[in-house]
């Protein structure tokens, strides 16, 4: 398949439990993706020219600075940002991006942030302790309830500073109606942040014009989930938010003038990028963006949707497989499931040991969401908290990338059939 030829390591052989080598199957793309071949080529091609950026006058330094700074326009083009009004701040990942925004958003402890019950911890924990945080409810399938969002916006009567919502859940894959959410947030005077970690690699995204009611004020995403695993991410938002106040990290590159009596900070984004930046990561990110654009995000969305539909249909044929609200409309290609009677961690281990299939198991850094989906009551959660290292309820997660194939899903089906047929053995071993 054409897409498969774009990715590094798709035919790597790994040892099974019996020592036999077999081709690795990666269904853990929601955690991280392998690099594009174009990304590796870009890294290797740029390496001889790599140098410290900004204040160096040597040719390599000037050239590296141009690569670094011009990259921001390419990022804005990719997500529909406005170069006159928005700034691109490079960070390590989505987690750092959201933490950065939490440190700059509002210094008034009366500010309210609305998160949701379906968030990754990275779009929940950074808000705690700094703001009044409330959570938008989800339905029985884990989908956001917009009526509850509007109810809470009304309840706080103009005090909500930000609605922080995932673009696509890393647990269920559900894509939130972020444009509708944006309209509601703006109606009540709030900003919107979209955590794009699981959305940006899989579906075309547009921040829209600042004059549009559906404008997305902030978007954050990670390179390592979009085939550029070199430690870079981005936070995009209005320049004016970052012009005032002090940066959360202070040091080299963040200042215009310093004495022992005063500091004049740099303009954003430099003000927010303390120390030597991850230039190689930015080179990788831009190469990944260019590859995604050359393929076409609509084509990626369409193909991954066929994988999702195929895998969901196959898994639904097994009586012993428990799917969690298997409505696959408006989702990225993620499927959470369990095999009845076998611990989720054991299932993941068997898939790896016997079939070289990589999946993720557990709570996927979204424990409150998993607790809701699994109907775990507060008493059981309290019991778990007293022994946090014990085996916890969770799920097995399949997450597909553009390079996965139907043949790989067929191998997964054989693996599931094998596990179910040997359930008694695996329950006792």
Q: Is 365 a catalytic residue?
A: yes
Question: Which residues neighbour 66 within 8 Å (Cβ) at sequence distance 6 or greater?
Answer: none
Q: For residues 103-114, b (16+ Cβ closer than 10 Å) or e, as one string?
A: bbbbeeeebbbb
Residue 243 C-alpha from the chain's centroid = 26
| Residues facing 195 on adjacent strands | 166, 220
Distance CA 252, CA 250 (A): 7
Which member of 111, 325, 363, 365 is catalytic? 365
Catalytic residues: 365
């Amino acid at each position: 398949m054409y897409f498969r030829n774009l990715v590094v390591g798709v035919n790597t052989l790994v040892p099974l439990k019996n020592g036999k080598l077999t081709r690795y199957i990666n269904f853990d793309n929601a955690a991280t993706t392998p690099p594009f071949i174009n990304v590796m080529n870009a890294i290797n091609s740029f390496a001889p020219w790599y140098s410290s950026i900004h204040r160096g006058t040597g040719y390599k330094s000037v050239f590296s600075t141009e690569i670094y700074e011009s990259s921001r326009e390419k990022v804005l083009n990719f997500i529909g940002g406005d170069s006159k009004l928005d700034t691109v701040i490079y960070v390590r990942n989505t987690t750092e991006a959201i933490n950065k925004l939490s440190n700059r958003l509002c210094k008034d402890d009366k500010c309210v942030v609305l998160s949701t019950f379906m968030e990754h911890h990275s779009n929940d924990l950074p808000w705690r302790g700094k703001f009044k945080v409330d959570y938008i409810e989800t339905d029985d399938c884990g989908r956001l309830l917009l009526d509850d969002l509007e109810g809470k916006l009304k309840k706080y009567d103009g005090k909500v500073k930000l609605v922080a919502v995932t673009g696509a859940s890393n647990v269920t894959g559900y894509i939130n109606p972020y444009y509708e959410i944006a309209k509601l947030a703006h109606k009540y005077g709030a900003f919107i942040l979209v955590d794009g970690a699981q959305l940006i690699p899989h579906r075309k995204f547009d921040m829209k014009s600042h004059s549009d009611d559906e404008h997305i004020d902030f978007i954050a995403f990670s390179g390592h989930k979009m085939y550029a695993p070199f430690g870079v991410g981005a936070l995009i938002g209005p320049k004016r938010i970052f012009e005032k106040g002090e940066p959360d990290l202070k040091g080299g590159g963040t200042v215009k003038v310093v004495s022992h009596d005063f500091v004049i900070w740099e303009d954003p984004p430099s003000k927010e990028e303390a120390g030597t930046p991850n230039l190689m990561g930015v080179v990788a990110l831009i190469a990944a963006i260019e590859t995604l654009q050359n393929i076409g995000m609509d084509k990626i969305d369409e193909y991954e949707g066929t994988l999702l539909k195929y895998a969901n249909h196959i898994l639904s044929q097994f009586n012993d497989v428990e799917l969690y609200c298997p409505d696959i409309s408006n989702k990225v290609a993620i499927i959470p499931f369990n095999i009845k009677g076998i611990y989720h961690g054991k299932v993941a281990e068997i898939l790896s040991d016997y079939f070289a299939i990589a999946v993720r198991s557990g709570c996927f850094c979204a424990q409150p969401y998993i607790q809701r989906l699994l109907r775990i009551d507060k008493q059981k959660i309290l019991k778990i908290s007293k022994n946090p290292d014990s085996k916890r309820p969770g799920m097995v997660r399949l997450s597909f990338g553009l390079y996965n194939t139907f043949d790989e899903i067929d191998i997964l089906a054989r693996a599931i059939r094998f596990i179910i047929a040997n359930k008694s053995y695996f329950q006792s071993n």
